[in-house]
Structure 1
Amino acid sequence: MKLEGAQEPFDIELGDVVYSVFPEEEDVFVIFKDGREYLKIIRDNDTAWLKLHPETELPMFGMDEEVNYIGDKINERREK
């Protein structure tokens, strides 16, 4: 059963790594890697994503190619 308005979890791939993406709240996603919680990301703007600090959940500013790649794949999925 699909809940109205709720986003379903989905998987994305980067090379041979599979990430499981779980939408949490508006523009916030929990990312699992190898079956374990790996990181939490938030959309900063249309093209940039930020990693959230694991303890405080405050945005950690700085360029992270892996986070932006995951965010780009989330954007692609939302555009479908």
Structure 2
Amino acid sequence: MQPFDLELNQINYAVFPEGNETYTIYKEGKEYIQIQKDEGEQWIKFDEETGTPLFEYDEEVNQLGKLIEYYKENPEEEEGEDEL
């Protein structure tokens, strides 16, 4: 899967798939967080310094995860809008 862009609350994010449902997220051009989908519907982020999962609930991470899932199910939809 190729990197792609998302927008959440008028903020641009670049999403770089790393495999195993793990994604590196860039926020407004700067590396921001790494997230991964857990076995349920929740998404977890990793500690920047240690790389260990942080299991506390994070609304922004979950919203980004939902957008990633939507993009994966509809990858061409956003591309086609620009051509109209």
Q: Which runs of 5+ in 2 are unaligned?
A: 75-84
Alignment of 1:58 onto 2:42? no
Q: Which runs of 5+ in 1 are unaligned?
A: 1-6
Aligned-pair identity in percent equals 42
- What is the number of equivalent residue pairs in this alignment? 74
Q: Which has the larger radius of gyration?
A: 2
Match of 1:3 in 2: none
Give the letter for the 1:10 counterpart. F
| Alpha-carbon distance between aligned partners in 2 of 1:32 and 1:10, rounded to the nearest angstrom | 11
Q: State the TM-score, normalizing by the size of structure 2.
A: 0.82
Q: State the TM-score, normalizing by the size of structure 1.
A: 0.86
Cα RMSD after superposing both structures: 1.0
Match of 1:24 in 2: 18
Indicate which of 2, 23, 26 corresponds to 1:8.
2
Match of 1:35 in 2: 29
Match of 1:70 in 2: 64
